[in-house]
Each structure stands twice: as C-alpha cells, then as structure tokens.
Amino acid sequence: MAATFVLDFSDGQHLETMGNGVIGRNPSVHTPGTEMDDPAHVELVTIGDDAKSVSRAHLAFGQYQGIFWVMDLGSANGTTISYPGDGTFACDPNTRHEVDPGSIVRFGNASFSLGRR
C-alpha cells in the first residue's frame, strides 16, 4: 500500500498524493525521462513563474516502497533538498533522490515542504 505524502508549495498550493507527478511551469504526462508507471494517474503541478526560474517540466516526484523521491529533469536552475538538521544538497539531473518528511525541496524560485499523512 502506498503512503500518502503532503506537499505544501511556496505559492500556497497543497497536494496530498499517493502517486507520481511532474512539477513545472507547463508540466506534461509525457515528459521525457519521467518513465511514469501509469500516465493516467500522474499529478501535474503547475507553478506560475513569470521570471521563468522554474522550467516547463522542472522535476518529477513519486514514491517507491513508501519512500518519497524527486528527480530533477535537467532543469536550467536545478533542484536542491534541505534535510532537517542535515544540510542542503544539490540534486544530480535525471537521478532519483530520497526526500525525508520535514525536508524542503527548492526548484527555481519555488519550493515545497514534504509531510506524511
């Protein structure tokens, strides 16, 4: 059974998810490199960003065996994860990175905090 994760975005959006998704200015289910298991159930999170610091399809997210992950999709401005009490780390493009609840994921001028329900 998949866990439910809560993403609270810097622009006020709130998402409770048990699946996969793509975040960006204009995200798409068919974003190259996302390899989603079930494209019909992919969450698309649109981030308004007039400065274009967030790429059209900036990062993908999902979970595997109850562990949440993010993957930068080769964005221009990158993605970082700030782990509680453990520092901030830059994500390698096209590589899944584990995200612990309580962490902050930053992408361009936007971010979300991760919780678990």
**Confidence check: pLDDT of 32 > 60:** no
Q: Report, as an integer, the average pLDDT of 36-48.
A: 78
pLDDT-derived band at 2 (thresholds 50, 70, 90) equals confident
State the pLDDT at residue 41: 72
Q: What is the mean pLDDT of the chain?
A: 91
Return d(Cα 33, Cα 10) in angstroms, integer.
25
Q: What is the pLDDT of residue 34?
A: 54
Domains of the chain, start order? 5-116 (2.60.200.20)
33 pLDDT higher than 90: no
Tell me what the mean pLDDT of segment 34-46 comes to: 72
* pLDDT tens sequence across 47-70: 999 999 999 999 999 999 999 999
Whether 37 shows a pLDDT value over 90: the answer reads: no
Q: What is the pTM of this model?
A: 0.91
Q: Are 78 and 56 in contact (CB under 8 A)?
A: no
108: amino acid identity, one letter: G
Q: How far, in Å, are 9, 24, 36 from residue 46 at the CA level?
A: 11, 5, 18
* Confidence check: pLDDT of 38 > 80: no
Cα 103 from Cα 112, distance rounded (Å): 8
HEC profile for 22-89? EEECCCCCCCCCCCCCCHHHCEEEECCCCCCCCCCCCEEEEEECCEEEEEECCCCCCEEEEECCCEEE
